[in-house]
Each structure stands twice: as structure tokens, then as C-alpha cells.
A and B are shown apart, each in its own frame.
Chain A
Amino acid sequence: MQIIKITDATSIQTGDLSESDVWFGLLEHLDTNNLVEVQLRDRIYWKLPAGDSNNQRTCKNRFDHINFTLKRLVKQHLEDRTVLRVLDAGCSDAITSCEWFGTFPENTKIEMLACDLHTKFEVITSQIGEAIYRDDGICIQFKLRNRFWTAPFLKRTIKNKAKSMLLSLAGWTMSNMPLLQLTKSTVSLFHPEALSLSNEKNGFRLVQKNITKPINQEFDLIRIMNVFHNWHLNDVFE
């Protein structure tokens, strides 16, 4: 595989990306109104760690066949409800939630909540480098000048655990080094189309939620897809 370090939008190339090729901080600078840059954003998002042993991997039209079945089941079982409260649990960047939202009958009021465990990351920048932290406080990348290191996905080996610890240590050291000027910025991991929809429609909300914990709300329809990987659950329950 050809390794190309992608650090700016002009580095778009067609080969398969490895997570070590992609500087996730690029997500912060992409123009969400530019179709090519949104496509690059989708490819980068695909490589983001979803847990300690899995990456996000979602895309448009992924659940079309399921939406088709759900549309029929709604007609069959829930047609009498004038308001449908819907939960899309573990929605990744919610692009598939947007698609699902558009499949309901027009005369039904939809209140959809789309949630995921990881919905944003923080980029800490200093004169010497940058560190990217996931919203659970895990350092997933560290950049020094034009080189960067990515936390390994599979942390089951001692070598990979050591790598992750070193990365966290580098991030922590930079963040606590005196005399360094630090700037912090937050990057939403929700898809630009999902964010637009949530701004336009009152019935579509995006939230961070751990679905292994009780949700104090009631729903008429719940979709929970691809959450039950054993590694993923192990990460959440550990």
C-alpha cells in the first residue's frame, strides 16, 4: 500500500487510507460546503477510533435496506401514533440517521434522537505541536512539526498498550509544559448534513450518550445497529 501522509485538503488521493496516514485534525479545517472536502471528511471519519478496537466506518446509503423494512413495520405496527419518538442508538456521525429521518410519513410528527458514544474531539495546539483528544480524554494523535503518531486501534498487546501510554504522555506533557501558549478547539464528529438537519428541524436532535446506561426517555421506535461487537462492548464495560 502506498503511504501518503494527508495533512491538508490538497493531499486528496484515491488509495486506501490507513489510520496512520491521516491527521484527524484536518477535520477542523475542511470546508463543509465543498463537496470534495466533505468526501474527504467522510474518508477521514471512517478511520477514527470508535472504541479501543474498532473504527467508525459509516457511509451514506448504508442502511437503506433496513430503512425500507422499518418503513413497512411502522405502517404495520405504529400507524396509529400521531407523534413518533425515535431513537437511533450508536448512530456514528448520524448520516444514516438523516436518511432514516426522511423516510417517515409526512403526516406523522417525528421526534428523533440520534446518539453516539463519541461525538467530538478536542485539538490542543501549541508552538511545538498538536494533540487530539477524544471526548473520553484519550489522546488519539500527537503531532510534532510535520510528523504525527496515531494511537493503535488494537490495544490488546503490551506493545500497543505502551504506544498508547507514550502518546498520552506526550499529549499530557505538551498540555502542561510551562511557557507554551495553548489553544483549544472542539471538532464535532457529526456529519455536516446531520448538523444542518438538526439546525433546520426541531424534531431531529444529536446528542452524546452511552446506551449501555439507562435512558430516561420513552421511544416508540429504536434502531441499534452494529453496537454489539464483542470488542466494542468490552471497551465500554471495562
Chain B
Amino acid sequence: MYLNDVMQTVRTVSSSLTDGGVICIGYGQSVGTWSAEYGERISFFRRSADRLVSIEDFNAPIKEKQAIENLQLISHQRL
């Protein structure tokens, strides 16, 4: 349920991006660790047509495999 909510919110917010626009997403607990200052995962995407293309990641400890997989899921879905 939580991941669905995350995906839905990311899609809702991203739908306001212009083509070529950039979005910076910081993740909280469950998909990452607690917050930015404590090593939260932060990812940058660029909108290309109706998709988000991953352009850079920030603070991505290997232990957060789940977070990385979730982000990849988002970037493969149509907005």
C-alpha cells in the first residue's frame, strides 16, 4: 500500500514537469533510510515525453537495494 502511495504521488507531481524538466526526489523510511541528513536516498530524473529517465543518484548505500529497485520501477512506468 505504501509503495503504491509513493508511486502515485511521484506520478502526480511528475505530471507537472515540462518535457526535459528535472525532478529531485528524496526518499523517507521504508524505501530508504530516515531522511536526507541521515543518508536518505536522493534521485534525480529528467522527463522525456511520458517517462522519467534516471540521470543521477545521491547517497545510495548498497544496503538500500529495495529503494533502488523501487525507483527503477517508477522510472519504467508511463506517467
Contacts and interface: CB of A to CB of B under 8 A. Distances in A.
Nearest to B26: A225
B49 interface: no
Find the residue from B22, B29, B35, B58 having the highest chain A CB count within 10 A: B22
A70 B24 CA distance: 8
Interface residues on A, range: 35 or more
Interface string A11-44: 0000000000000000000000000000000000
B36 A229 contact: no
Contacts, number: 117
Nearest to A229: B28
Contacts of B22: 70, 73-74, 77-78, 220-222
A233 B21 contact: no
Interface stretch (A158-166, A194-202, A207-215): A207-215
A72 B20 CA distance: 15
Contacts of A89: 13
Nearest to B34: A229
B25 A224 contact: yes
Contacts of B10: 224
Contact of A237 (B5, B17, B25, B28): B5
Contact of A222 (B8, B13, B29, B31): B13
Nearest to A231: B29
Interface residues on B, range: 35 or more
27 contacts: A65-B58, A66-B26, A73-B22, A74-B22, A77-B55, A78-B20, A78-B21, A87-B16, A212-B12, A214-B16, A218-B18, A219-B16, A219-B21, A220-B21, A221-B23, A222-B13, A222-B16, A222-B23, A223-B23, A224-B13, A225-B26, A225-B42, A226-B26, A226-B35, A227-B26, A228-B26, A228-B27
Interface of B: 2, 5-6, 8-10, 12-18, 20-31, 35-37, 40, 42, 44, 46, 55-56, 58
